[in-house]
Amino acid sequence: MGAPRTPRERWVEEGLRALAGGGPEAVRIEPLAQALGVTKGGFYGYFGSRGALLDELLDTWERDVTEAVIEQVESLGGDARTRLDRLFTVVASGTAPSRSVAVDLAIRDWARRDEVVAERLRRVDNRRMEYLRSLFRSFCPDEDEVEVRCMVTFSLRIGSPSIAADHAGRTRAEVMELTRKWLLR
């Protein structure tokens, strides 16, 4: 009996790590196999090509940052502010490799060079914004304010890790908590 087969999910997780670290160019079969401590033969049992893995990485990312997050937030119920607060916590935890900001940024960079990826990114961003709008609308009657809150929320998710500014005697965590409270008021 041979060695147990490396699960498909491990290939996807390692692919997402490579994507986060170096973009789609870094997603290569041999280095992934080395990182997993296996031969590359197992790869072909799951994926017919590197392109198939890249598609799977995008599928996993899309599912994990949209519907899986929404299902997790909605599963415990509560009013819109409670669900938004939960959303902020879920997104900040970044427990799944596909939910990391590094993967998001790598896909955004990739989308600048690939129209198919750009279209998928647009679909994902629109789904994320639709969900935010649905929550903010339940306590913000002004559509302009809803859009501003959504944009600030989404921009914080994508851009905050890139900001190196000091915060006038406050920690980044304190400022993020103040922002969270402001958005939920």
Assign 2 a pLDDT band (cuts: 50, 70, 90): low
Number of neighbours of residue 185 by Cβ within 10 angstroms = 8
Residue 24 lies in a domain: no
| pLDDT: which is higher, 92 or 28 | 28
Q: Considering the chain, what percentage of its residues have pLDDT values greater than 70?
A: 98
Name which of 164, 33, 22 is nearest 107 in CA terms: 22
Residue 111 lies in a domain: yes
With respect to residue 139, please indicate whether it lies within any of the assigned structural domains. yes
Residue 46 reports pLDDT greater than 80: yes
- The string of pLDDT tens digits covering residues 62-113 is 999 999 999 999 999 999 999 999 999 999 887 777 888 999 999 999 999 9
Identify the residue with better confidence: 23 or 95: 23
H helices of the chain, in order, are 8-22, 29-36, 43-46, 50-65, 67-74, 80-93, 101-111, 115-137, 143-159, 172-184
Q: Is residue 22, in this structure, part of any structural domain at all?
A: no
Give me the mean pLDDT over the 156-179 stretch.
Answer: 93
Range of the domain at 92: 58-184
In a domain, 1, yes or no: no
pLDDT of residue 4: 65
Q: Is residue 147 part of a domain?
A: yes
Question: Is residue 53 included in any domain, yes or no?
Answer: no
Q: What is the mean pLDDT of the chain?
A: 94
Would you place residue 178 in the very low, low, confident or very high pLDDT band (cuts 50, 70, 90)?
very high
The contacts of residue 102 (CB under 8 Å, 6+ apart) are 20, 21
Give the chain's domain count: 1
Per-residue pLDDT tens for 47-57? 999 999 999 99
Q: Could you tell me if residue 81 is inside a domain?
A: yes
Q: What is the pLDDT of residues 112-136, one digit of tens each?
A: 999 999 999 999 999 999 999 999 9
Domain of 79: which CATH number?
A: 1.10.357
At residue 42 the predicted structure's pLDDT band, cuts being 50, 70 and 90, is confident
| 112 DSSP assignment | T
